[in-house]
Amino acid sequence: MAIDARAPGLTRRTVDEVADSRQEPDWLRARRQAAWDVYDATPNPGRTDEEWRRTNLRWLQWESLAPAPARDGVGRVPSTVPAAALSPSVTLLVSAAGARVIDISPEARDAGVVTLDLAEAARTQPELVRERLSTTAIPPEQGKFQALNAALWQGGALVHVPRGAALAQPILVVVCGDAGLEQPHLLASLGEGAQASIVEWWADAEHDSPALVNGATELFVDSGAQLTYSHVQALATDARSILSQRAIVGRDATFTSTNVTVGGRFHKARVEAGLIEPGASVVMNGAFRLGRRQFVDHHTTQGHLAPDGTSDLLFAGVLDGRARSVYAGTIIVEPKAQRTNAYQNNRNLLLNSGTRADSIPRLEIMADDVRCTHGATTSTLEPSHLYYLCSRGLPESQARELIVEGYFEAVLDRVPHEGVRDVLRGVLTAPAPTSDGATGI
């Protein structure tokens, strides 16, 4: 059965159409239908909800949402993605039509790395999917958008790095946004003692741009494993996007995430890490560069559920034009999570008087043997710094760019993989667009 992307609105029938089009097993169809029931019963988010208090969704017409067309024409990585600079071990291209491997290195093949379309994986390797898909990391009960993705994801991808495997080069997952409602879903897992780097890059298909991207990323880092994960949102200037991202980190495992946002007019991200076993270690990085009337809202959670865990978060943003950002971060320490060491820091640099940055740090501590601190700073360009650089012969525009580049180094220095770090630096140091456009909020 084909999906009717032209039909206005989404219904339970749409869920069946998606499952039929991918020949999905009965258990996955049932899981989609259960998620749809949650979506249907969940009120639309609004300003009375704490998470959405500072985020305006008046632009979203729920009744007009329709799945993105499953075109077969997305056959190559968009030119805006610097794939060659990353030298990936695997390149996976994801669109509404599904996911397919563009290239895989002998290193990845010999290591037994699994990269598949998610629906295909549910049919052929359910042991890697059934237990973890939309269950413990991002269940549909988390919210309206999470339930919508669990019910109607189309561009799904599975990445699994088996126990003990180690990859020197990153796995690149390119999500190509298309017209309509794009709903990618990445399920990635590292077996015990495995080591890998994953880069998820949201870009536009070169023939169109999405009306809305509602994506979910579920990451599982098993005992002793080390995962470096980066997410780049580089959609077209008129795109809007919602991201739900959560990592489950096991005993003595290490997880480093970096979220970079430069595209679109509206982006809201829920970025979470759950340290569920003793000795887990998490570093959470974020960097965004905004211009025009772009709007970005990050909600982060460092969830400590077991003793002897460490988490360290730094989110930094540079705003120009009439851009606006919201950052709300929470450190949660459950009663059993004794000897937790957690830190959270949000920094904002305002380049224009028309910008605004809201920062709301929170602590929820239910254990008594912990060290948890947080900080937030918002500042403008220091005139003396500009004067110093200009007095050495630099034009003011170049002096400003040098200050911005230096500002992001505090975040980039925390990215373990050198090649990924260099690519992210290139994304952030490209000047933010300055032409005025429609507001994102």
pLDDT reported for residue 7: 43
pLDDT tens digits, one per residue of 366-379: 999 999 999 999 98
Cα dihedral: 301, 249, 189, 195 (round 10): 120
Q: Do 235 and 435 touch, CB atoms closer than 8 A?
A: no
Determine the average pLDDT of the residues in 388-395.
80
pLDDT reported for residue 72: 60
> Of 55-69, 90-104, 193-207, 237-251, which range is least confident?
55-69
> Of 53-57, 184-188, 249-253, which range is least confident?
53-57
- Asked if the model's pLDDT at residue 62 lies above 90, the reply is no
Q: Report the alpha-carbon distance of residue 50 to residue 121 in Å, rounded.
A: 37
Geometric angle at alpha carbon 60, from 57 and 65, rounded to 5°: 150
- Asked if the model's pLDDT at residue 411 lies above 50, the reply is yes
Who has greater pLDDT, 391 or 248? 248
pLDDT tens digits, one per residue of 1-47: 444 444 457 889 999 989 988 899 999 999 999 999 999 999 998 88
Buried b (16+ CB within 10 A) or exposed e, 377-392: ebeebeeeebeebeee
- 48 Cβ contact list (under 8 Å, min separation 6): none
pLDDT reported for residue 253: 98
> Of 16-20, 104-108, 119-123, 381-385, which range is least confident?
381-385
pLDDT tens digits, one per residue of 297-350: 999 999 999 999 999 999 999 999 999 999 999 999 999 999 999 999 999 999
pLDDT tens digits, one per residue of 137-165: 999 999 999 999 999 998 899 999 999 99
Q: Do 277 and 310 touch, CB atoms closer than 8 A?
A: no
Are β-strands 114-117 and 156-161 bridged in parallel, bridged antiparallel, or unpaired?
A: antiparallel
- Asked if the model's pLDDT at residue 429 lies above 60, the reply is yes
Task: Identify residue 320 by its one-letter amino acid code.
Answer: D
- Asked if the model's pLDDT at residue 363 lies above 70, the reply is yes
pLDDT reported for residue 91: 96
H or E element, residue 197: strand 195-204
Who has greater pLDDT, 361 or 401? 361
Q: Do 233 and 261 touch, CB atoms closer than 8 A?
A: yes
Phi, psi of 133 (to 5 degrees): -70, 115
* pLDDT above 90 as % of the chain: 71
Strands annotated E in 224-294: 226-233, 240-249, 254-261, 266-275, 281-290
What's the whole-number average pLDDT of the chain?
90
H or E element, residue 407: helix 396-412
- Asked if the model's pLDDT at residue 221 lies above 90, the reply is yes
Q: Do 153 and 3 touch, CB atoms closer than 8 A?
A: no
pLDDT reported for residue 209: 61
